Structure 1
Amino acid sequence: MARPEVLSMVLAGGEGKRLLPLTADRAKPAVPFGGMYRLIDFVLSNLANAGYLKIVVLTQYKSHSLDRHVSWTWRMSTLLGNYVTPVPAQQRLGPRWFAGSADAILQNLNLIEDERPDHVVVFGADHIYRMDPRQMVDQHLDSGAGVTIAAIRQPLALADQFGVIETGPDGVSVSAFREKPTDATGLSDAPDQIYASMGNYVFDTKVLIDIVKQDSLDPSSKHDVGGDLIPKLVRAGCAQVYDFADNRVPGSTDRDRGYWRDVGTLDAFYEAHMDLISVHPIFNLYNREWPIYTGHAPLPPAKFVFNEEGRRGYATDSMISPGVILSGGTAERSVLSPAVHLDVGAAVCDSVLMDGVRVGRGAVVRHAIIDKNVIVPDGAEIGVDMARDKERFTVTPSGVRVIEKNQIIPG
């Protein structure tokens, strides 16, 4: 039996205000992650590994670096009609930008009409996870649902932090979809858990077209996929849930299977990096059977130089990218992105340094996220004096210092 035709739409238009200052000059899906990647590389890799190779990326806010990354990195052979293409807001329905994720789909219905797919996969662009979407599509086909919603199990006590999916007696049909409820009930097979929406959906094409057109005429709607389209389809009785715990990705281990992180806050972004650097990482970037793809600049291998007391370049429990030079500096429990340079005596600990950061002689960096091309001068201290750091930088509730890109920090 022939596989159905599937078009993938990646929603990448969010502002990412809670990630400021990392999103001061870029869209949230373009934020660097894990040394080598951008956030959007994870969803695109999942789709590409599954063989879904007709992908449109709907962009809007501060999208230049995102558009450039997708266009440069995600080139595919057009011989078989494959493509990954950024689609900026085009004001196709008048002089207005996208009013929400559902409106973004409405304004790009021409993409669906051009491809005429049987089903449309609509995924978010800024989560860290591995998933084989074919398994979700297979359940969707078997069920005959109008929409299938991917869900991850979370503790009942955290229900007020998620969009919660409530199911009927069969455990699969969706009876309600509520945003951050305070009175959620547990699952029938796990009373201490709830289904939290992952922001990933599979739609029957006709159902999607009909519902976005219907929603566009609703003056009370915020035109959001999760907030408006899904509740309407739940009320129509055509929504089902897909349990992410059932997804099996080639090469995954018991430790990293089912990992999913919404890095919507600076603390979550930092914690997701810390998940990468343990001896047996909670999220394993080294799974070659389901790789995470990205573009690679022509940089040389990382280099560790000097081996003298007080002048020794080394890194422990860390991830080190190409082009990094530890010139007598040290890194512990940190992620160093391409072309980072640590000078003699520099000490970086529990931190994330993005591309091109330079840490001067004797400088100390602790518990920090430092964006691209920042210069930390000789002898400077970050993460040592909380009161002083709050005067100079963004500091998260957990105490992570965050420095905006291209800054030259006073000594």
Structure 2
Amino acid sequence: MNEASDVLGIVLAGGEGKRLMPLTADRAKPAVPFGGVHRLIDFVLSNLVHGGVRRICVLTQYKSHSLDRHISTTWRLSSLTGEYVTPVPAQQRLGPRWFQGSADAIHQSLNLVYDECPEYIAVFGADNIYRMDPRQMIEAHVSSGAGVTVAGIRVRREEATAFGVIQTTDGTKIDAFLEKPEDPPGLPDAPEQAYVSMGNYVFGAQVLVDALKADAENTASHHDMGRDIIPMLVAKGDAAVYDFDQNVVPGETDRDHGYWRDVGTIDNYYEAHCDLISTHPIFNLYNRRWPILAHPGQRAAAKFVEGGTANQSIVSNGCIISGAQVVESVLSPDVFIENGAVVQGSVLLDGVRVGAGAVVRRAILDKNVVVPPGAHIGVDLTRDRQHYHVSPAGIVVLGKGERAI
């Protein structure tokens, strides 16, 4: 199989991301910054491009301006060889309506499939943190002869209740696809574990087209890939599972092999950042053989002056730490922290300003947030709840451009 000519990548990036508010108040979920210089969508696009899938359509809808701009300015492949990553907004091709679900988004964009005539279609989600070589999944799909292959990750059964769960008796064929079951089925070789769907699928192109057309005619459907299309093909006995644990990525460590994180909530987003900063990180951003690609912009290197320090932290270009202490934190570009300030266990996005003597603990500060001199965030959660968004785990979040009290 020649992946470059036979596979079309479709990335579903139209999610609203309500559970990530206020980070998604002004941007689509896949455009949320992550890990200093990245956006969430950079992870799936890096995986696809490294894996040889280089005709990629990104379906967007909700507050997509910053996402569209990021894709257009960052993800420029070689037009000489027919490679591209292109944002595709909702176009109302089938009537005056927006996308009604992930399956409807692809159905309304089938012109992309007809134009390219691929043999296979890789439909991947846009907002998870992981590394994966899609070639290995595509090869497993071709070998299985199934109409669709679903990537599954092993988790403890008690954790699987929040996801779509794959039931299989032989470890290959999907017998049932269960949406957030109270009692998830165990695996044949590991009864205490369950397969959770990663939201990544490989289809035979004609199988997907036929399924989408049938789904469009079903008035009872939610027109969703996981809730409708996959169960339809499972019922036909035409669905297989791919064990993500079998995927081997060049340069990975034993510690970050098989890492996958759903960052659908503020607490998950925060915890995923914590996974980056240890000496031997749970997820290693510094794998040079499979880098997560990004464009950090034209900024000077980070600067530490007046005794400013950063420990167990990621500090991006353009940051200035002036006589301040940064501990166990992730700083995006152009963050400025003034004398005597303390930033601990926090995520600061582009352009944040922390004034002299301020204290920021266990917080997420969105782009261009200003913390005045002497202000305290994350020190008194009772007070913080009166002014800011505070997650169930006690993470204080200030929205884009907000000025702290």
TM range (shorter): over 0.9
Aligned residue type for 1:294: A
Tell me how far apart the structure 1 counterparts of residues 254 and 101 of structure 2 sit (CA, whole Å): 37
Tell me how far apart the structure 2 counterparts of residues 131 and 2 of structure 1 sit (CA, whole Å): 19
SS at match of 1:174: coil
Query: Which residue does 1:43 correspond to in 2?
Result: 44
Aligned residue type for 2:341: A
Give the drift of 1:409: 1.7
**Identity across matched positions, percent:** 63
Give the drift of 1:386: 1.1
Shifted more, 24-33 versus 1-10: the winner is 1-10
- The alignment status of 1:292 with 2:292, answered yes or no, reads yes
Query: Which residue does 1:352 correspond to in 2?
Result: 347
Q: For 1:199-348, list aligned pairs within 5 A.
A: 199-306=199-306, 312-348=307-343
Aligned equivalent of 1:362, options 330, 341, 357: 357
Shifted more, 180-189 versus 372-381: the winner is 180-189
Q: Which whole-Å deviations, capped at 9, do the CAs of 1:249-292 have from their partners, x for residues lacking one? A: 00001000000000000000000000000110000000000010
Aligned residue type for 1:16: G
- The alignment status of 1:402 with 2:402, answered yes or no, reads no
Tell me how far apart the structure 1 counterparts of residues 116 and 256 of structure 2 sit (CA, whole Å): 36
Query: Which residue does 1:393 correspond to in 2?
Result: 388
Query: Which residue does 1:115 correspond to in 2?
Result: 116
Query: Which residue does 2:375 correspond to in 1?
Result: 380
Give the drift of 1:143: 0.9
Query: Which residue does 2:198 correspond to in 1?
Result: 198
Tell me how far apart the structure 1 counterparts of residues 60 and 271 of structure 2 sit (CA, whole Å): 26
Give the drift of 1:330: 1.1
Q: For 1:28-177, list aligned pairs within 5 A.
A: 28-168=29-169, 170-177=170-177
Tell me how far apart the structure 1 counterparts of residues 130 and 184 of structure 2 sit (CA, whole Å): 25
Tell me how far apart the structure 2 counterparts of residues 32 and 297 of structure 1 sit (CA, whole Å): 14
Q: Which whole-Å deviations, capped at 9, do the CAs of 1:12-64 have from their partners, x for residues lacking one? A: 00000000000000000000000110000000000010111100000000000
Tell me how far apart the structure 2 counterparts of residues 2 and 38 of structure 1 sit (CA, whole Å): 29
Aligned residue type for 2:119: D
Give the drift of 1:159: 2.4
Tell me how far apart the structure 1 counterparts of residues 77 and 171 of structure 2 sit (CA, whole Å): 39
SS at match of 1:173: coil
Aligned residue type for 1:323: G
Q: Which whole-Å deviations, capped at 9, do the CAs of 1:300-349 have from their partners, x for residues lacking one? A: 0000001xxxxx20000000000000011110000011000000001000
Query: Which residue does 1:187 correspond to in 2?
Result: 187
Tell me how far apart the structure 2 counterparts of residues 230 and 185 of structure 1 sit (CA, whole Å): 18
Contact between 2:296 and 2:317, CA under 8 Å: does it hold in 1?
no
Aligned residue type for 1:64: H
Give the drift of 1:183: 2.2
Tell me how far apart the structure 1 counterparts of residues 349 and 93 of structure 2 sit (CA, whole Å): 37
SS at match of 1:152: strand
Tell me how far apart the structure 2 counterparts of residues 154 and 126 of structure 1 sit (CA, whole Å): 19
SS at match of 1:79: helix
Tell me how far apart the structure 2 counterparts of residues 408 and 245 of structure 1 sit (CA, whole Å): 44
Tell me how far apart the structure 2 counterparts of residues 63 and 88 of structure 1 sit (CA, whole Å): 8
SS at match of 1:252: coil
Any gaps of 5 or more consecutive residues in structure 1? 307-311
Aligned residue type for 1:398: A
Give the drift of 1:296: 2.0
SS at match of 2:42: helix
Tell me how far apart the structure 1 counterparts of residues 280 and 13 of structure 2 sit (CA, whole Å): 31
SS at match of 2:294: coil
SS at match of 2:81: coil
SS at match of 2:242: strand
Q: Which whole-Å deviations, capped at 9, do the CAs of 1:110-134 have from their partners, x for residues lacking one? A: 0000000000000000000000000
Give the drift of 1:2: 4.3
Aligned residue type for 1:277: I
Tell me how far apart the structure 1 counterparts of residues 221 and 168 of structure 2 sit (CA, whole Å): 24
Aligned residue type for 1:214: A
Moved beyond 4 Å, runs of 4+: 1-4
Tell me how far apart the structure 2 counterparts of residues 258 and 333 of structure 1 sit (CA, whole Å): 24
Give the drift of 1:408: 1.6
Tell me how far apart the structure 1 counterparts of residues 99 and 328 of structure 2 sit (CA, whole Å): 41
Tell me how far apart the structure 2 counterparts of residues 407 and 138 of structure 1 sit (CA, whole Å): 48
Aligned residue type for 1:93: L
Query: Which residue does 1:309 correspond to in 2?
Result: none
Query: Which residue does 2:18 correspond to in 1?
Result: 17
